[in-house]
Structure 1
Amino acid sequence: MPISASNAETLALNVLGWLVANDELLPVFLGATGASEQDLRERAGEPEFLISVLEFLLMDDSWVMSFCDANSVPYELPGQARALLAGDSEMHWT
């Protein structure tokens, strides 16, 4: 079942919350994106920022699995949410 836009945003916000609570990954995210802790608060509602949060998570399968396991979310959902928020949810690779 496809994810809705509102569910995609909620999932991305949950990923952001998971990252903020992760003392090991948060500095990696901040370094990789150039975001500051202030940006996390100010930009959390912006689709472009939420896309960057999901793209960061998707960089490593173990991060995806850790987030999904901690939140009882199917492993494919973060990728679906990223595609929907980025506007390429209709893209097919085959």
Structure 2
Amino acid sequence: MARPPSVEDAEHLALRALGFLAADPARLEPFLAQTGLGPSNLRAAAQEPGFLVAVLDHLAGSDSLLLEFAGNLSLNPEIVAQARGRLAGPPMDEAP
């Protein structure tokens, strides 16, 4: 079994996912509509840790998007969920 991604690896994957969404208006527009962001504040939002979780959530919410993204990078799609978990941290009921 492969080791879970580090925080840095998870952040890098989320930024690549954002680039994947941004490369095609048909992929980006639903994400912007879901988050309430616009092109003008997207870059600033990308600096927020919760934003990267939202990017991965959006990607994982669509099998077709997830499979296309993972296929483009030759990744197992499960790595997206692992990266999301790493960035989000433990659920509140599991926190120390």
Pairwise TM-score range, normalised by the shorter structure: 0.7 to 0.9
RMSD of aligned alpha carbons: 1.3
Scaled by the length of structure 2, the TM-score of the pair is 0.86
Partner in structure 2 of residue 16 of structure 1? 18
Pick the aligned partner of 1:4 from 6, 9, 16. Answer: 6
Pick the aligned partner of 1:69 from 60, 68, 71. Answer: 71
Bigger share in helix: 2
Distance 2:9 2:29 in 1: 26
Runs of 4+, deviation exceeding 4 Å:
none
Partner in structure 2 of residue 40 of structure 1? 42
Q: Is the partner of 1:24 in helix, strand or coil?
A: helix
In structure 1, the gaps of 5 or more residues are 90-94
1:83 aligns with 2:85: yes
The structure that has the greater radius of gyration is 2
Distance 2:90 2:68 in 1: 25
1:46 CA drift (Å): 1.5
In structure 2, the gaps of 5 or more residues are 92-96
1:27 aligns with 2:5: no
Scaled by the length of structure 1, the TM-score of the pair is 0.88
